[in-house]
Chains A and B, each alone.
Chain A
């Protein structure tokens, strides 16, 4: 599989973040993964790396419901980065909510250009694979 790929996990739940990391390792043996419990920290790092000539495609696995800064707020802030920074990233949203039981319709996050898809938790190898066939 494509090894020029790295991942950023943003999830306030330690267990979920652990699981995502393990599933990624099962699917891609050699891959760089960093994880954050607080979306703001992830933004800071992305901002710091913006200057460097790092062309690796990075997939951000983003939880929606988090304290301090939730997924929606993260995407909002992320899209303030210049296009040349944004193009190195793709956002995949992970959530326990379904479109049916969420009053703020989670699908509305797809209107952001950088958000590629939504997957329902719990994560499985199948869900991860189906993501990258697209």
Chain B
């Protein structure tokens, strides 16, 4: 299939000129014409993908230069080319200098002139649109960088100043028991720092990494997860139940998939209600018709209704009891975006939280 024709608009008050223009160019381009300014404006409104606008300088209501000055503000994207005889050079030079027109084609034009002009204008248009896209990307990256700079000062300096304070205090401490208690708290701070650095690494590999698709054996992944979380389950008396059903081939990227499991499971274990007698974490994975449906269900402290909407935001923490970086669920969401997956949360305060994840096979 041939690439879509570039769309151009020609504005001239003489219908004969419009017909001639369209006749010579319609093979190469999709040509729109307008016989007056209002028609031209409505054409630009209806076809925002028009890349090049030609306008005759001498029009009854307005000069071409004035028209361009106007649409430069109202329709800034299309490249503006003036068509004119050598009559009022001054005003054309002025318009070019003000940036209102890209270039001009002198009358009477030849087809070669026009094609060359459109070609140049199109390159300019493409370069500009690329620049806009890149600019948006940069702006987004900058905003995230700002958030990071702020979080670094708190999430990294926070535990560090705590440890420094503890070292200062240790100089004035004699009691070994007290010292041990402090060491335990210091260890927690160091672990928090370490977890932060690890999730930071996850964050970057998710943002920058390419997808690596392989066949996924959920039974194998679950065996590995079991090995990791069984220890935690035993120490904290949490029942860890797993149910996997996979009878078909499932393709996805291992790394983001593991990240999702690890974050959801470690949260499920971390946010258990310490006082509760029956603590459990349930993981179920069912693969059917090329979709993996995953439930991670815990009997934990739950999430306050008003916080549920925010838990996937960068650096959001809804709880002060346990250490959290505010990166975990944000990373889960980014990973799911990569895998085209969805996540839903259902939480009842003091009863528990269920995450439902669906991921299509790729």
List chain A positions with a Cβ less than 8 A from chain B.
Answer: 12-16, 18-19, 22-23, 26, 37-38, 65-68, 96-97, 101-103, 121-125
Contact = CB atoms under 8 A, between A and B. Distances in A.
Contact of A19 (B146, B162, B317): B162
Given A15-B189, A38-B320, A65-B158, A124 B150 contact: no
Contacts of A122: 161-162, 164-165, 168
B278 interface: no
A16 to B, nearest CB: 5
Contacts of B178: 22
Majority-rule SS of A interface residues: loop
Contact of A67 (B172, B186, B318): B318
Contact of A23 (B157, B169, B186, B321): B169
Contacts of B186: 15
A121 B149 CA distance: 18
Nearest to B326: A67
B161 A68 contact: no
Majority-rule SS of B interface residues: helix
A8 to B, nearest CB: 16
A65 B326 CA distance: 13
A23 B170 CA distance: 11
Contact of B320 (A37, A121, A123): A37
Interface of B: 146, 149-150, 153-154, 157-159, 161-166, 168-169, 172-173, 178, 181-182, 185-186, 188-189, 317-321, 324
A67 to B, nearest CB: 4
A101 to B, nearest CB: 5
A20 to B, nearest CB: 9
B349 to A, nearest CB: 13
A67 B319 CA distance: 6
A-B pairs with the 4 shortest C-beta distances? A122-B165, A67-B317, A15-B185, A15-B162
A19 B320 contact: no
Which residue, of B162, B166, B168, B317, has the highest number of chain A Cβ atoms within 10 A?
Answer: B162
A36 to B, nearest CB: 9
A118 B163 CA distance: 20
A121 B317 contact: no
A19 B188 contact: no
A103 B182 CA distance: 32
Nearest to A65: B154
Nearest to B189: A15
B142 to A, nearest CB: 13
B118 to A, nearest CB: 47
A22 B186 CA distance: 14
A101 B153 contact: yes
Contact of A16 (B146, B165, B319, B320): B165
26 contacts: A13-B158, A13-B162, A15-B163, A15-B188, A16-B158, A18-B182, A18-B185, A19-B162, A19-B165, A22-B169, A22-B173, A67-B317, A67-B324, A68-B317, A68-B318, A68-B320, A101-B149, A102-B150, A103-B150, A121-B161, A121-B165, A122-B162, A122-B168, A123-B165, A124-B165, A125-B172
Nearest to A122: B165
A54 B164 CA distance: 36
Given A15-B186, A122-B168, A96 B318 contact: no
Given A13-B162, A67-B324, 6 more contacts: A15-B166, A15-B188, A18-B185, A65-B154, A67-B317, A101-B149
A96 B153 contact: yes
A120 to B, nearest CB: 8
